[in-house]
Structure 1
């Protein structure tokens, strides 16, 4: 609405001329004069009403403009608040998903499993260098149990999530419960130095990404140098591990394994426990993955040694529930990209002495 001087409803008479309807002509009859007065009064009333209406419209128009300004101001404020809220939410999201170096770092809160983008990694929380509890002050990934974990496989998973827009959630598990948790959907995958076996059809496998060896670790002063030297010795491995299956079912080892511990293979809940027993002299040897062996020898310089004899050459892969072949392929493709752009080699250097880039087998 354009605003100007309000129209007063009257028609101005030309200069020097009287308005014939409001001025009584000379010699006019009284009735005519009264009629003229009545007309004049009516005209004045019309003018007054018109003026009031015009004034009201003007006031309303000004109010509308003021309202528009207020609304505009309010809209702008709301817009700023929305941006601030968005920034806060973004900052919060970054804090939860951001990790320093190699896409990792500390987080104040673990992502919720109800997040539809959550990628929940089930892993053995005591399986260095692939997944283990971080030292105080060390960057890592916060789990629901309040503990922070780190490791080579967790760092890989974090970068895969970063590149696919997923939210990493780490879930330490008992190794013997992995299948039930995978089937129930409590975890998205099992990713933690998991030996690939294409005969295990209860999983949708990623492509194998690392070579691995099954080896024997003994005390450096034990005098045990070969597999045959282990006959009748106390030998342990982890519960439900590939090493246990190898010794129990592979014809190459069942005979000597039957002599271990006075009648069979000894098992423990974790390799940390196994190497503690080895250091204390409670057992004579530990059968484990080569990466775990390297980590143990790094943690106990000059105390342990690995036998030259390799029991088995295998691969690591990531296990998903049946029906998740598409997810498994996406992860495999992302790992190939990470190798192609140098991320994997750089990450292996971070774990130098425990993980060798030469063992990486998933390449374009």
Structure 2
């Protein structure tokens, strides 16, 4: 009996050890499939940064970048498409955690809690090839379409840049498709936007449209959180973005989508 009792006690001990090991193993979220916290990312449809492919899946530079950064931070990115000129409302009411979609941070440093800058982008002007507009000064008295609440709208309306003349009318539209249509139909004389987006528009009909050599503005792109929130997260995100630039990951991403890596990474932005 004594031998059997010892065996019984030993067996119980082994069971408890196995149970304890199993509990320890279950603390690894990857082993048990625990869900990571979500980071709700707001953006409009702005190719090649953030847009939907033919299957309705979010793709683009900012999408791939957000997925890579969130993986390191321990978040699951959720992409929420928004009306861009209502972006602050989405942040204020908590419907999105951040804005991540080719968003210009320079000139807005005090308006949001920023991560970045992580890329650079020229804001350029596109016109019809039969237009007499050849440089920014030729916009005097002309009609120009911009996306509402963007940097080109600000530059044209405030005219803080001495190169910018007084235009006849600035049409502030909701999305890029509307902006492209306004030039196609002759409602405006020129349109403005990020160079990478307008290059795609012009590339579809190079005999009809052209981009001016002179840029309107050089944007530093960042990730915007509501001001005075997510300070630690923004700091960590900035560090990861810097590491991705240093190790060449960011260069590979922008080249994949046809951007000039030297310009996008701020190596060459001279006029």
Q: Shorter-chain TM-score category?
A: 0.7 to 0.9
Distance 1:357-1:253 versus aligned 2 partners, 3 A rule:
closer
SS at match of 2:111: coil
Question: Given the alignment, which residue of 110, 127, 140 partners 2:46?
Answer: 127
| Match in the other structure for 2:219 | 314
Aligned 1:107-118 pairs, distance under 5 A: 117-118=37-38
Distance 2:147 2:84 in 1: 9
2:120 corresponding residue in structure 1 = 211
1:349 Cα deviation after fit: 1.5
Corresponding residue pairs, total: 260
Question: Normalized per residue, which structure has more strand?
Answer: 2
- The TM-score normalised by the length of structure 1 is 0.62
Post-superposition Cα deviations, 1:121-148, rounded to whole Å, max 9, x if no partner, equal: 1111x21111112223xxxxxxxxxx42
The whole-number CA distance in structure 1 between the counterparts of 2:260 and 2:112 is 25
SS at match of 2:54: coil
Distance 2:186 2:89 in 1: 36
Alignment of 1:278-317 (within 5 A): 278-317=183-222
Instruction: After superposition, give the CA deviation of every residue in 1:207-257 in whole Å (9 maximum; x if it has no partner).
Output: 322222221101223343223433333321111111111100024366422
- Secondary structure of 2:116's aligned partner: coil
2:63 pairs with 1:154: yes
Go from structure 1 to structure 2 and tell me whether the alpha carbon gap of 1:329 and 1:235 turns closer, same or farther (over 3 Å shift): same
Which is greater in Rg?
1
Q: Establish whether residue 334 from structure 1 lines up as the match of residue 237 from structure 2.
A: no
Alpha-carbon deviation of 1:293?
1.6
1:350 pairs, out of 246, 253, 256, with: 256
Corresponding residue to 1:275 among 170, 180, 185? 180
Kept in 1: contact 2:137–2:165 (CA 8 A): no
Q: Secondary structure at the match of 1:346?
A: helix
TM-superposed CA distance for 1:177, in Å, is: 1.9
1:220-231 → structure 2 map (5 Å cutoff) = 220-231=129-140
Which runs of no fewer than 5 residues in structure 2 stay unpaired? none
Q: Alpha-carbon deviation of 1:172?
A: 1.1
3-state secondary structure, aligned to 1:182: helix
Report the TM-score when normalising by structure 2: 0.80
- Structure 1: stretches of 5+ with no match in the other structure: 4-57, 94-114, 137-146
| Corresponding residue of 2:166 | 256
Pair 1:325 & 2:234 matched: no
Residue 331 of structure 1: how far off its partner (Å): 0.7
Q: Distance in 1 between matches of 2:223 and 2:260?
A: 17
User: Of residues 75, 78, 89 in structure 2, which corresponds to 1:166?
Assistant: 75
